Amino acid sequence: MAVKKNVVLLGATGSIGESTLTVLRHAREELELIGIAGNTRGERLAEIAREFDVRHAAIADESTYRDCVEAGTFPGTCRLSCGTEGITELASLPEADIVLVASSGTAGLRPTLAAIEAGKDIALANKEILVLAGKFVTTAAKAHDVRLLPVDSEHNALFQCLEGRRPEDVSRLVLTASGGAFVDWPLEDLKQVAPEDALRHPNWSMGRKITIDSATMANKGLEMIEAHWLFDIAPGRIEVVLHRQSIIHSLVEMVDGSILAQLSPPCMTFAIQHVLRYPHRAPGVRETLDFKRIHRLDLEPVCPDRYPCLGLARHALEAGGVAPAVFNTANEVAVETFLENRLSFLEIPGVIERTLEGFDNFEPGTLDDVLDLEFSIRRKASELVKTYAWKKTS
Ligand code: NDP
Ligand code: MG
């Protein structure tokens, strides 16, 4: 019989946050939501607090927090706090068993480390945290003997396939990639695409940033780096294959040539439920694959010219040190600028490449080294994107 777990959810108002709530609605006896955090959607966070009778909430954005306090948006039974400090406190609540980190960007880094130090298991959706500070997060998890349970569907698949295997029996990890919104578009047409085009993902419904990253495959690049840290595997043994249907979530090749895979429909509730209930299993909240229908499972090589961000990410992963952090921050700045219609889609990899070229790599000694660096990369990349001065012509 599974013991009831107390769950803290960072990024409750986002896409992964909403999928997590769907899982929790079907598991009220086994999983209790005791803490939630968001950034700007205060009203939605308060609705969640009411629906699940949550006792602790934190809002990163100060003005949203002030508005909520003034308007009395939250129920009186919910203690509301603010900023990184409030979220860090929430992530280390004494009664919490597991913290699901689904906030976007790197703001969740300190709260995640605090949760690890407080001995909480971590369900990690946010890949940026590992890309920026994988060394610090994985070292802390080992030192405090906490589990890092991957929510990202590819890594969740790898985790399931690797369970019970000996590391020396594994030869390769193969991440599947859908190809994103432009998988079949002529490259020439990508010069003038608008953010709305890139935001139309063929299979997955996700937040804006990750949907653009899927179209450029920067997301798969971040996921290679994420896999390196989660599974302690050399960069040369991580590969990517195009799989348009997003049903095979990833593959593990054993040394004898056998390949193991995990399959489910493209919906995040499968991975979320798996980690929240881990190591137990229970019926899922969404329909499984219907074998009365034909399903095609195509696996194709990735065309490097179509997805230069993937090559840049591999280069950063192999270089090590702070190169993955530079890749991540430069990509964040480029995507924000593209979403504001100030950078062409095809210029995103150029911004990353030029930012990477402008940095002398080093091995960070402390977390502050990484955070200081993130600040300076952001500044440099922001200066750089101004020089592009692109305007979409309609
Ligand atoms: P969304 O943009 O939909 O949601 C982001 C969430 O983070 C919101 O709750 C938002 O709050 C909160 N947030 C934003 N900035 C801050 C901040 N500075 N401090 C605290 N909270 C903040 O993103 P997704 O749900 O799509 O993705 C979340 C993470 O999960 C990302 O790291 C992504 O890479 C990863 N991921 C997502 C997948 C998906 O299917 N969506 C799949 C695999 C991984 P608010 O809305 O209140 O402003
Ligand atoms: Mg993924």
The string of pLDDT tens digits covering residues 219-277 is 999 999 999 999 999 999 999 999 999 999 999 999 999 999 999 999 999 999 999 99
> What's the pLDDT at 263?
98
Given a cut of 60, whether residue 394 has pLDDT beyond it is no
* pLDDT tens digits for range 191-221: 889 999 999 988 888 999 999 999 999 999 9
- Give per-residue pLDDT as tens, 148-199: 999 999 999 999 999 999 999 999 999 999 999 999 999 999 988 999 999 9
Q: How many domains does the chain have?
A: 1
- Please report the pLDDT score of residue 3 as a whole number: 81
Peptide bond preceding 279 in cis form (omega within 30 of 0)? yes
Site residues for ligand 1, CB cut-off 6 Å: 11-17, 37-41, 60, 102-105, 107, 125-128, 152, 204, 206-207, 210, 268
| Residue-range definition of the domain harbouring residue 50 | 5-151
Q: Which residues pair with 148 in a beta bridge?
A: 122
The one-character DSSP state at 163 is: T
How far is residue 325's CA from residue 321's CA, in Å, rounded to a whole number? 8
Q: Is 260 left (phi over 0), alpha (psi -120 to 50) or beta?
A: beta
Region of residue 254 (left: phi > 0; alpha: psi -120 to 50; beta: else): beta
Instruction: Confirm whether 131 is domain-assigned.
Output: yes
Say if 137 falls within a structural domain. yes
Q: Assess if residue 14 is contained within a domain.
A: yes
Which pTM was predicted? 0.97
Probe residue for ligand 1, chosen from 9, 10, 16 as the CB with the greatest number of ligand atoms within 8 Å: 16
Residue 367 pLDDT: 94
Calpha distance 40→162 (Å, rounded): 38
Residue partners of 116: CB distance under 8 A and separation at least 6: 122, 137, 140, 141, 144, 146
Q: How many other C-beta atoms are found inside a 10 Å radius of the C-beta of residue 123?
A: 27
Q: Vertex 295, ends 291 and 301: CA angle to 5°?
A: 145
Q: Does a structural domain hold residue 223?
A: no
Determine the residue type at 55.
R
Q: Please give the distance, rounded to the nearest whole angstrom, from the Cα atom of residue 295 to the centre of ligand 1.
A: 31
Residues of the chain by 3-state class (helix, strand, coil), percent to 5 = 45, 15, 40
Does the residue 132 lie in any domain?
yes
Nearest-ligand number for the alpha carbon of 227:
2
- Out of 104, 154, 216, mutate this one to test ligand 1's pocket (max ligand atoms within 8 Å of CB): namely 104
pLDDT for res 390 = 67
Contacts with 170 (C-beta within 8 Å, 6 or more apart), sequence order: 162, 233, 237, 252, 253, 254, 255
Q: Is residue 18 part of a domain?
A: yes
pLDDT of residue 357: 96
> Quick check: 119 and 94 in contact, CB under 8 A?
no
SS3 56: strand
Residue 342 domain-assigned (yes or no): no
Q: What is the mean pLDDT of the chain?
A: 96
Query: How far, in Å, CA of 195 to CA of 197, rounded?
Result: 5
Mean pLDDT within 276-289: 96
Residue 124 sits at φ, ψ, to 5 deg, of -105, 110
- Report d(CA 326, CA 312) in Å as an integer: 11
We report the CATH number of the domain holding residue 75 as 3.40.50.720
Q: Is residue 126 part of a domain?
A: yes
